[in-house]
Amino acid sequence: MHRFVARYFPCREYLDESFLAQFARDDPTTTASSAMSSDAAAAASSTPATAQANLNRLQNGWFSEINVQWEGIACSLQVEEVLFEQKSEYQDIMVFRSKSFGNVLVLDGVIQLTTRDESAYQEMIAHLPLYSHPNPKHVLIIGGGDGGVIREVVKHAGVETITICEIDKVVIEAGKKFFPTVAAAWDDKRVTLECGDGAVYLAKPENKGRFDVIITDSSDPIGPAASLFESPFYQSMNEALKDGGKVCTQAESMWLHLDLIAKLVKDSSHTFANVEYATTQIPTYPAGQIGLLLCSKQLSGRKVPTCTKPTRKVPAKELDKYKYYTSELHEASFVLPAFVRARVEEAKETAKKEKDELKAKDAAAGGSAKKGSKKRASTGVVAEEDEKDAKAAKAEESQ
Ligand code: SPM
């Protein structure tokens, strides 16, 4: 089993056949068929094991998001009709029409969006970084194949290019077919699609210093998005940003994944000049809530960068384009419950201590972190930020 999964999902022992067998006791063809179209029912009879497990989550006309990543809790939605079921090269994809939350996109058994509440996620993951940046021109979206984040980014008239790197073409096609109000902006002339692995794309030398804002709209860390939760990915995002750039990533639930959140905050704090955590409420994600990690790259000579205050407001004549995001909600989303704030602060503090220790070690080793060097060979931690931090602190002092 992947080391990362083993560390951050304590109920991992159920991820094997015994976990799935527990749900295979009821005959899936009888329990699921009442809610399935005939096409989907036909597909079910020849479905591979993982897709079969997906169907086993359909019981008596309800879909339950039973998953090792959130032990003992599951969101259930009443199903009117299964519209689409396919195993792509990367994952199981299912779309169903629900009784009260519209169409639902499910990847590997996990709800990605419903047409009723998707705005609570797509608007926040896009507009928190975009409105924190004074003048974003070049935006990269990693994941987000349903098109929802593109729909939000195009609302910013100053944005000149929008690059989206999605690994799974089938998700893009399913989005266009079953979620037309979400996949509404693919035709915008600023949009370019790069089909492939986001981590590989970002690491390309030609992408260094290219973007003002990077938005990582990923699925969860078990599956094709696993590498997007690892430290090297944060280093690549930092390197792909222009000075003063902003990153926003899907960062899981404070009720379910506090250890993972602390890891993400610590790892990214090694790399970025500032890291902040925001939350949004969304009924169809586990525990009804999801977090977003906001990382800022230093702009030389400026104060510590932050995303907590919008630098621009939604233009008055465009207020009706937004269902969820407001400038007030922008600031409020960074106000954390005490137990979350404590872990986030602790993780930042730990990262600071680790960085200081590394600096001290370097100094003791006779200045192996030479001026102009970009990486510490022993850790891979980017030293460039430290130099910029020091310059910025000096500039602030002299103001
Ligand atoms: N554009 C919408 C894609 C959604 N991407 C994020 C999906 C996350 C689903 N799982 C949430 C689990 C939270 N702990």
State pLDDT tens for residues 211-251: 999 999 998 888 788 888 888 899 999 999 999 999 999 99
Identify which of 118, 150, 285, 293 to mutate to test ligand 1's pocket (most ligand atoms within 8 A of the CB): 285
Q: What is the pTM of this model?
A: 0.82
Which atom of ligand 1 is nearest the CA belonging to 144? Answer: 1
Question: What is the predicted pLDDT for the residue at 226?
Answer: 86
Query: What's the gap in Å between 399 CA and the centre of ligand 1?
Result: 43
Q: What are phi and psi of 132, to 5 degrees?
A: -80, -25
109 lines ligand 1 (CB under 6 A): no
Q: Tell me how far the alpha carbon of residue 316 lies from the centroid of ligand 1, in angstroms.
A: 30
Residues 9-56: pLDDT tens digits? 544 433 444 433 433 333 333 233 334 344 444 433 444 445 555 555
Catalytic residue among 146, 217, 362, 386: 217
Predicted confidence (pLDDT) per residue in 325-360, tens digit: 999 999 999 999 999 999 999 999 999 999 999 989
- pLDDT bucket at 301, cuts 50 / 70 / 90: confident
Ligand 1 atom closest to 285 (CA): 11
Q: Which two tokens stand for residue 23?
A: 């749900």
* pLDDT score recorded for residue 7: 58
Q: What is the pLDDT of residues 304-329, one digit of tens each?
A: 999 999 999 999 999 999 999 999 99
Torsion of CA 323, 326, 329, 333, to 10 degrees: 80
* DSSP, res 149: H
Ligand 1 center–CA 38 separation, angstroms: 29
356 is catalytic: no
